[in-house]
Chains A and B, each alone.
Chain A
Amino acid sequence: MNSTKYMNPYLAGFFLGLILLVTIYITGRGLGASGAVKSAVVATVETVAPVHTSNTKFYKEYGEEHTGNPLKNWLVFEVIGVVIGAFISGLISNRLKFTLEHSPKIKSKIRIFGALIGGALFGFGAQLGRGCTSGAALSGMAVLSFGGIITMLAIFGGAYAFAYFFRKLWL
C-alpha cells in the first residue's frame, strides 16, 4: 500500500497554530522539544553520577530552578505525546517503516555521521539559545517575544548561510 499524501501545509499550519493557541490559553506557555532532552540528560547524569551533579554548576543551577525529579517536567510529557501522536499519524497514513533516509548520492555512513553531528549541534545550540524551533522560534512568534524572533531569524539565517557548503548531503 502506498503512503497517503501529506496534509495541505496551510491547513496543517492553521491546526498547528490552534494547538499552540490552546496550549498558551490553558497553560500560559508554548510548545517545546529540546527542553525534554535537557531533562533527560540531567536525569541520566543524576542517576549515573550523583556526586558529579551535586558539584557541577550547570546541574546545580538546574536544580535551583526545577524541584523534584527532572523527568517530571511538562515538556517531557509533551514529547512523549509527540511520539504517540506521530506514531498514530504514521499508522493511519501508512508511513511506519524502519528506514535510514538519505540522498542516493551519499553513503549511509555519511548520513549517520551527519545526523549525529547535526543533532549534537542542534542540542548544543538550543541550550545556548534557550530553545529550539518549537520553544523559541514558533512559541516566541506567537507571543511576539523579541528574543524568540531573533533566535528564529538566526536559526533560519544560519541554515541558509551554511546550506551551500552541505549541498552534497542533500542534492
Chain B
Amino acid sequence: MGPLVPEVIGNELNFVVALFVGIAFGFILEQAGFSTSKKLVGLFYGYDFTVLRVFFTAGVTAMIGVVALNHFGLIDISLVYVNPTFLWSALVGGLIMGLGFVVGGYCPGTSVCAAAIGKIDAMIFVGGSFLGVLVFAEGYPLFEGLYKAANWGSPRIFETLGMSQSLFAFLLTAIAVGAFWAVTLIENKVNGKPNPEFSSKKLYYGLTAIALVIGLAAFVMPDRKEAMLNQVKDKNYIANYPVKMITSDELAFRLIDDDKDLQLIDLRSPKEFDAMSLPKSNRFGLENIFEKDVHNILSIKHKRNIFLANDEAAAMKGAILAKELGYENVSVLKGGLDQFKTDILNFTMPSQTAGRSQADTFRFRTKAKELIPILIQQNKLTKNSGEQKKSKRVVGGC
C-alpha cells in the first residue's frame, strides 16, 4: 500500500527517487515548451494557451489517478501530504505570484527548466527568486501575522464545498474540457488564424470522449471508505453477513495457552482500552481500518484476528469492513467484552450445574478467572499506552 516511503523505500533512497522524478519533470516541462517565457505568458494575453492545456491535463490526470488508487485501497490518503489551507496567505501570496508571473515571465519550476537550456532571462529570474525568499526570511516578523492567519488545517476541497469527491472530480474534468474548447476559440481569434495542431475535429471528439470516460469513472468510483462505513450501519446487512465467532471460553483458553497466532483487535475508545485491555490486543477505530498502519497489522500471515468491542454488534462492523477489504482469518468475540466479563472475569459459580460438560466449563471458568487478570496485569506493565505508534503524514510542499 502506498505511499512506499519510508517502509518500502528508505529515506535515503527517496533522494534518488527525487532526482529521477526531477529529471522526468524537467524533461516534460522543456518538451512542452515551458522553457520560453513567450509561450508561458501567452496564456495571459490570449495568443498561446499551452500552459493551460498542459497544466489542466496534468492536474486532472493526477487527480483521477489519486482517486482511483484510493478507491482500490492502493494508497493511504491520510498519509499523503495535502497542502494546508491558510486562507489569507494563500490569496495574497497567490496574487503576488501572479504579478511576478506577468512581470518576470516564468514561475519557479519553469525558470529552472529554461535556465538549464541557456535562457539568460530565466537565470536572472532564478536569482530574483532567491532575493524574494531572502526578503521574506529577513522580514518574517512583519509577515508572520498574515502568514499564519486563518489556519483551516488541511481540508480537501470537496469537503469544504460540501459535495462528494466523485461529483467534484467530475465537475473539474468537465471544466477542464470546456476550457480546452474555449481557449482554442480565443487563440484562433487573437492570432487571426487557426492553429493547425488543434484544428482537427477528431482530436476534440477524441478528447471529449476520453474525458467523459474519465468523468464517468469518477462516478463509479465513489469514496470507498465512506460507502463501506455507510454499509455497515445497516443492521440487516450486518445480521446476514457470515463472520466466524469465537466464544469467551475459547478466547480465555487461547489467552492462557499463550497462542502465538492470536491477535486481538480492540475497537473500544482509547480511554476504555487504557483502563483495561486484554493481552495481544491492538486498538484502533473503525475509520482506521482503511489506513496503512492497520493494514500492516491485519496482513500479518497466519494471525487469527479477533475483533472485539463492548458488544458484539460493534465488533461485527469492524470484522465486516476487514473482510470486505480482503483480510483473512477474521473472527468476532461472541457477546463482546461484556459477555467475556460475565463469563470469565466476573464469573460466579452457579449453585446448580446441568450435566457434566457444563461442570467442566464452570471449573475452567473458575481457573480462568484467576489467571486472566494476572495476564492483563503483566500485559499492562510491558505496554505503556494503548496508542500504537502511528505513521506520520509526509511533510511536503514547496
Contact = CB atoms under 8 A, between A and B. Distances in A.
B87 A150 contact: yes
Interface residues of A, number: 125
A119 B128 contact: yes
B132 A132 contact: no
Interface string B131-159: 11111111011011011000010111111
A6 B117 CA distance: 14
Q: Is the interface of B mostly helix, strand, loop or mixed?
A: helix
A24 B393 CA distance: 12
Interface residues of B, number: 137
A14 B396 contact: no
A125 B266 CA distance: 48
Given A130-B90, A157-B94, A144 B156 contact: yes
B54 A122 contact: no
B338 interface: no
B98 interface: yes
B366 interface: no
B83 A33 contact: no
Nearest to B118: A98
B136 A74 contact: no
B319 interface: no
Contacts of B141: 57
Interface string B151-176: 01011111110000100110010000
9 contacts: A33-B108, A33-B109, A78-B18, A116-B127, A116-B131, A129-B93, A134-B398, A138-B62, A143-B66
Interface of B: 2-5, 9, 14-33, 35-39, 41, 43-45, 50, 53-63, 65-66, 69, 74-75, 77, 79-87, 89-122, 124-138, 140-141, 143-144, 146-147, 152, 154-160, 165, 168-169, 172, 180, 197, 207, 393-398
The 8 closest A-B pairs by CB, nearest first: A118-B104, A81-B22, A158-B98, A154-B94, A119-B128, A129-B93, A17-B61, A123-B132
Interface of A: 6-10, 12-35, 37-38, 40-42, 45, 56-59, 61, 65, 72, 74-75, 77-90, 93, 95-103, 111-112, 114-163, 166-167, 169-171
